[in-house]
Amino acid sequence: MLKLTETQIKMLEEIANLHHTPEGAYNIRTNGESAGRASTENIKITSKEDVSGIDIRIKPGTKDETVYIPVVISETGMKEVVYNDFYIGEGADVTIVAGCGIDNCGAHDSEHDGVHRFFVGKNAVCRYVEKHYGSGVGTGKRILNPVTEVYQEENSYMEMEMVQIKGVDDTDRRTVAELAAGAKMVVRERLMTHDDQRAISLYDVKLNGDDSSADVVSRSVARDNSYQKFDATVVGNAACSGHTECDSIIMDKGTILAVPGLEANNVDAELVHEAAIGKIAGDQLMKLMTLGLTEQEAEEQIINGFLK
């Protein structure tokens, strides 16, 4: 059994839906150290020599395995940069559950900057799930600045689900991807900011091979005085298709900036961008109120559904 505090256990449930030590391969990082690690026949996790972080090597043809690599910070003032590299072998089909939770009860800022690189082999399928969460009553900020690089070989498939619903004060997310022929990338981002939080999400996806495609969709809610920027650029360098979408609900004194970016360098590139920002529709509130909900209850239901 791993040695974890109550708070850390709660965090792991929140970010990775883990209720006990995971089966299969995992690496649980708490306050800058590995609290537990396991490799399997097909998935090897090793520490990096030069910098803080791990290499995750997944053998070609590995099927239906899940790797957990959650990170928890529960010490105030903790700052770390971690480099994780994922090598997903040809034809593998795996799920990677990441996620980072910061509980800051102190006065100093806590920060986790994770640099993830994915090398997705030919015909490989990878589902990546990442949840960010902050808690704690301290005045110190909870800061997360993830950098994700994705390199997809021919006919590979990468699906990324990224969720940040609560408690992260400041986040600056950068995701870059390069796709070879026939590769497909699907991104689903869900974000809610509240109080004085700030969240930036920047994508730069290059579709380099024929028949490659990317679908990047963000749903977000900005409440209170929070600020969000969604900046998604898709570059079509081949006969490819790209779609980005930003669908946002703005509330209170929130600010949302959606920056569409499409660059076509090939006559057969088909690129689409959609963006919509607006407050909760009045008739949605009214419908739920006619069912007996108060206006606040109706708002909560609408937002929960929207971000589900």
Q: Which residue has the tokens 């498939």?
A: 157
281 binds another protein (CB under 8 A): yes
Per CB under 8 A, does 286 bind another protein? Answer: yes
Work out whether 276 is an interface residue with another protein (CB under 8 A): no
Considering the complex, state which of residue 50 and residue 283 has its C-beta at the smaller distance from another protein.
283
Nearer to another protein, 107 or 291 (CB): 291
Smallest distance from another protein to CB 302, Å = 6
Strands 170-179, 142-144: pairing kind:
parallel
Q: Least Å distance between CB 127 and another protein? A: 20
Q: What are phi and psi of 291, to 5 degrees?
A: -90, 0
For residues 227 and 93, give the distance between their C-alpha atoms in angstroms, rounded to a whole number. 37
Question: In whole angstroms, what is the distance from residue 169 CA to residue 109 CA?
Answer: 10
- If phi > 0 it is left, if psi is from -120 to 50 it is alpha, else beta; for residue 16 that is alpha
C-beta closer to another protein: residue 38 or 217: 217
- For the CB of residue 270, give the shortest distance to another protein in the complex, in Å: 22
| 306 near another protein, judged by CB under 8 A | yes
Choose the stretch contacting another protein; rule: CB under 8 A; options: 65-73, 79-87, 126-134, 291-299. Answer: 291-299
51 interacts with another protein by CB under 8 A: no
- Judged by DSSP in three states, 269 sits in coil
Provide the 8-state DSSP code for 281: P
In the numeric block, which tokens belong to residue 248? 């946002």
Binding mask 223-262 for another protein (x = CB under 8 A): ------------------------x---------------
Shortest distance, position 306 Cβ to another protein, whole Å: 5
What's the CA gap between 286 and 300, in Å, rounded?
A: 13
Nearest residue to 56 (alpha-carbon basis) of 71, 38, 29: 38
Residues that bind another protein (CB under 8 A): 219, 247, 281, 283-284, 286-295, 301-302, 304-308
